[in-house]
Amino acid sequence: MDDLTSRLHVLRGREVPLGGPRGMTVMRTLPHRDCSLVGPWCFVDQFGPDDVSATGGMQVARHPHTGLATVSWLFEGAITHRDSIGSHVLVTPGAVDVMTAGRGITHSEFTTNDTTTLHGVQLWFAQPDAQRFGDPAFALASTERIEADAFALRAGFGEHSVTGPGDQVVTARGDLQMGVPLDFLEITLDPDIEVTAHLDAGHEYAVVVDRGPVTVGAGERPVVEADGYDLVLVPERSESVRLTAGEAGARVLLIGGEPLGEDIVMWWNFVGRSHEEIAEFRARYQQEMGFEGADGEALDPDSDAARPATEGDLLFGTFPPNTPRPLPAPRLPGGRLRLRGRRPQERREGRGT
């Protein structure tokens, strides 16, 4: 990929089974081999519309996170969220669900029994080094759908201004403050409608396409065509982005934020700053969940020791009894985990073209 200031780039989603090889399939656009960060956003999964009767929907048992925040945004269906700090809530369309992992948290996510179709997006943003060992937290907030002439807005984070047909200017603002400058705006367009979203030139942005096709433009650069499950990287230092829906209309998410300014190591559900740190997070989780002993050897699943810990200095907290068994962490790869940044490492080190 050439320099991220020169043109728009379309990243195609790749299929990933959620929660294991028999899980619901999601389409993942971040991280990508060509770009790992958009502002602090480091992970984007799109799912659905998913027929829950055929796939079972989202069935993700207890699992860990460190150094990041998860964001759930639904278009259809509902999810039950439970975590190790005592949260147990219903997530529905029109709400933004944010779980901040800090030094460590575990949670589970299950489609509700009355959900027939599940459709939405889940994202992560990396916490800055100064915040990533803070206390875990959870927040759930309602958002307002703002109707305009031929388009609608719904803001999760940040303040936004969009110019539509007839030069009408519509603003939307997300109420949650996360300690880092974030942008998150849902834009729904009627057929053949063009709008211009105004940007902070100091932030990095991407357009996540839920429903298209949509034509995306920025300044005088050539436009690109994108469709569902695509992510379009907006050139850095752009002051606006144009979105033009096709004859079927479109729905996109505009995500962005202030550049993180740090490289991260991201593996499985952990974000850290080194291979050794990730290895320690994994070992601690495996021990607290009763999968491995302090020596790293697997425990007999029928032994008393092979149960999640319920007392002591627990990094990943506790869960109520009679909930599904936690997910075990996969084995670390044979080589060292590498740092990720906005651009591929070889290009930042001058080895690419």
Domain at 117, CATH number: 2.60.120.10
Integer Cα distance of 46 and 33 in angstroms: 18
Report if residue 349 sits inside a domain: no
Report if residue 221 sits inside a domain: yes
The answer, yes or no, to whether the previous bond of 213 is cis (omega within 30 of 0) is yes
Residue 17: what pLDDT? 86
- Which residues, 6 or more positions from 220, have their beta carbon under 8 angstroms from its beta carbon? none
Integer Cα distance of 183 and 194 in angstroms: 20
pLDDT at 346 over 60: no
Report if residue 308 sits inside a domain: no
Report if residue 98 sits inside a domain: yes
Residue 262 counted as an annotated binding residue: no
Share of the chain above pLDDT 90, in %: 83
Residue 143: what pLDDT? 97
Under 8 Å between Cβ of 181 and 225:
no
Residues spanned by the domain of 101:
9-257
Report if residue 161 sits inside a domain: yes
Integer Cα distance of 334 and 32 in angstroms: 21
Give the count of domains, the chain: 1
- Looking at the DSSP bridge assignments, the partners of residue 242 are 196, 217
Under 8 Å between Cβ of 122 and 63:
no
Q: 234-257: per-residue pLDDT in tens?
A: 999 999 999 999 999 999 999 999
- Which residues, 6 or more positions from 89, have their beta carbon under 8 angstroms from its beta carbon? 80, 81, 97, 138, 140
Residue 63 counted as an annotated binding residue: yes
Residue 22: what pLDDT? 59
Per-residue confidence band for 102, with pLDDT thresholds at 50, 70 and 90: very high
Report if residue 313 sits inside a domain: no
Q: 2-37: per-residue pLDDT in tens?
A: 567 779 999 999 999 876 555 688 999 999 988 999
Pick from 17, 44, 122, 43: nearest CA to 79:
122
Quick one: average pLDDT of 61-77?
A: 98
Residue 351: what pLDDT? 36
Quick one: average pLDDT of 320-335?
A: 94
Report if residue 26 sits inside a domain: yes
The type of residue at 133 is F
Q: How many Cα atoms are found within 13 Å in the side-chain-facing hemisphere of 202?
A: 5
Mean pLDDT rounded to a whole number for the chain: 92
- Looking at the DSSP bridge assignments, the partners of residue 298 are 292
Residue 160 counted as an annotated binding residue: no
pLDDT at 353 over 60: no
pLDDT at 320 over 90: yes
Per-residue confidence band for 164, with pLDDT thresholds at 50, 70 and 90: very high
The β-bridge relationship of strands 250-257 and 182-189 is antiparallel
Report if residue 285 sits inside a domain: no
Under 8 Å between Cβ of 112 and 90:
yes
Lateral strand order in the sheet of 59-65: 59-65, 105-111, 79-83, 88-91
Residue 309: what pLDDT? 78
pLDDT at 66 over 50: yes
Pick from 69, 71, 89, 70: nearest CA to 79:
89
Residue 2: what pLDDT? 54
Q: 271-312: per-residue pLDDT in tens?
A: 999 999 999 999 999 999 999 998 888 887 777 777 787 877
Q: 215-227: per-residue pLDDT in tens?
A: 999 999 999 999 9
Residue 107 counted as an annotated binding residue: yes
